[in-house]
Amino acid sequence: MNVISLSISLLIVLLILRGVIQGSQKPLHESGRKLLIPILYIATCLFELFDPALVLTSGRVLSSITIGAVLSIPLILVTSFERRSDGYMYYEKNLSLYLLIIVIFFIRYLDLLFITDIDAKTMGFLNNLIALSYIGIWRVASFMKFQHAKSQPLSVRIDLLSKTD
């Protein structure tokens, strides 16, 4: 992996972390559609399919999608949303989510270092396919969790708080 590619990957991870951190400090848009936008960004990697230099097999593609699906499971489990007293929706603060994003980046980085029997272009595409899989699944599940949390009435939480006084 060259320095430019690694730098771009690190920048993307930092932007993802910044977005999640800001999401716990700033309210999310009421519709939650912005949770789905990263899928569009990473989906641009599919244009690489037009590159005739790619050596893809169905096994490699299915393996990449499966690895991405497995990596999305812990992200889905630790991502949650809350409606605060101001009435807006926020990411719940969760250190596990930040750590998982960093760990997944390093898993993908190590994947590129240790798998050497695949040419660089194909390996790059397969790694992007892993990212598309876990980001896509995670963000769709997050959108569904957001919609569920948004539908929960705030008055129930306020009632519980007032009973303790």
Domain boundaries, position 94: 3-163
pLDDT (tens digit per residue) in 20-72: 777 778 888 878 888 888 888 888 888 888 888 888 889 999 999 999 999 99
For residues 2-22, b (16+ Cβ closer than 10 Å) or e, as one string? eeeeeeebeeebeebeeebee
- Write the burial class of residue 24 (CB in 10 Å: 0-12 exposed, 13-18 middle, 19+ buried): middle
pLDDT (tens digit per residue) in 101-133: 888 888 877 877 777 788 878 888 888 888 899
The pLDDT, as a whole number, for residue 3 is 65
Q: What angle do CA 81, 86, 89 make, to 5 degrees?
A: 20
pTM for the model stands at: 0.80
Q: What are the φ and ψ backbone dihedral angles of 86, each rounded to 5 degrees? A: -80, -5
The total domain count for the chain is 1
CA dihedral 133, 38, 146, 31 (to 10 degrees): -140
